[in-house]
Amino acid sequence: MNTKLTLRLEERLIRNAKHYSRQRGKSLSQLVADFFRLIEGEEEAAETEISPRVRALIGSLRGIDLTEEDYRRHLEEKHL
């Protein structure tokens, strides 16, 4: 069952959230629901142990500016 939720936020945050949601093709309600699901899953994730191999990858792409287009181009080149 869906229930209405009213949020009071700074106008700038609302404007940015609407822009973000349009870019992603999602409604603000979907974004908020996704965030709440993420919070809900954090408790489960905290209990999950990260392997040393995965831990070594954390932060390895920090500072690199990649887009979905970059990834698509990579896949096209890889599979041609």
What digits encode the pLDDT tens for the residues 6-42? 999 999 999 999 999 999 899 999 999 988 888 887 6
% of the chain surpassing 70 pLDDT: 91
pLDDT of residue 61: 80
- pLDDT tens-place string over residues 44-80: 655 667 788 888 888 888 888 888 899 899 999 988 8
Nearest to 28 by CA among 40, 37, 39, 19: 19
Q: Does pTM surpass 0.85?
A: no
| CA 6 to centroid of chain Cα atoms | 22
Q: At 57, which helix (H) or strand (E)?
A: helix 52-57
